[in-house]
A = this chain, B = another copy of it.
Amino acid sequence: MVRLMPGKRAKQPKLKKKAGVFDVAREAGVSVATVSRAFNLPDIVSEDVRRRVLATAQNLGYAANPAAKALRSRKTHIVGAAIPTLDYAIFAKMINHFQDSFAQHGYMTIVATTGFEHANVFEKVKTLVDRGAEALLLVGAIEDPALVSYLKRPHIPVVTTYSYLPDEIVPCIGFDNYAATESAMEYLADLGHRNFAMIAGSPKGSDRQRARIAAYKDFVGSRNLHGAANIIIRNFTIRDGTEAIRAILDKYPETTAVVCNTDVMAFGALSESRRLGIRVPQDISIVGFDDAEYAAQLEPPLTTIAVPAEEMGRLAAEMLHSSLSNGEPPRFVRLDSHLIVRKSACPPRALKQLRLAAAV
Residues of A whose CB lies within 8 Å of any CB of B are: 63-71, 76-78, 85-87, 89, 92-93, 95-96, 99-100, 103, 108-113, 126-132, 237-238, 242, 264, 267-268, 271, 274, 293-294, 297-299
Contact of A87 among B85, B92, B129 (CB under 8 A): B92
Besides the known contacts A67-B71, A77-B131, A78-B131, 9 further A-B residue pairs in the complex with CB atoms under 8 A apart: A66-B70, A66-B130, A86-B92, A86-B95, A86-B99, A264-B293, A267-B294, A271-B298, A274-B299
Copies per assembly: 2
Q: Across the interface, do B76 and A130 meet the contact criterion of CB distance under 8 Å?
A: no
**Listed A/B pairs (23) with beta-carbon separation below 8 Å:** A63-B130, A66-B70, A66-B76, A66-B130, A66-B132, A67-B68, A67-B69, A77-B131, A86-B99, A87-B89, A87-B92, A89-B89, A100-B113, A103-B112, A103-B113, A108-B110, A108-B127, A109-B110, A242-B297, A267-B297, A268-B297, A274-B299, A294-B294
Known: A71-B68, A92-B86, A95-B86. A293 touches B110 (CB 8 A): no
Q: Tell me the minimal C-beta distance from A340 to chain B in angstroms.
A: 16
Chain B residue, CB-CB nearest to A92 = B92
- A contact face: mostly helix, strand, loop, or mixed: helix
Q: Across the interface, do A67 and B132 meet the contact criterion of CB distance under 8 Å?
A: yes
Chain B residue, CB-CB nearest to A85 = B96
- Find the residue from A63, A64, A66 having the highest chain B CB count within 10 A: A66
Residues of B within 8 A of A132 (CB): 66-67
Q: Across the interface, do A99 and B87 meet the contact criterion of CB distance under 8 Å?
A: no
Contact of A297 among B76, B271, B293 (CB under 8 A): B271
Contact of A96 among B70, B86, B237 (CB under 8 A): B86
Q: Across the interface, do B86 and A76 meet the contact criterion of CB distance under 8 Å?
A: no
Q: Across the interface, do B113 and A110 meet the contact criterion of CB distance under 8 Å?
A: no
Q: Across the interface, do A238 and B294 meet the contact criterion of CB distance under 8 Å?
A: yes
| Distance A197 CA – B211 CA, assembled complex (angstroms) | 48
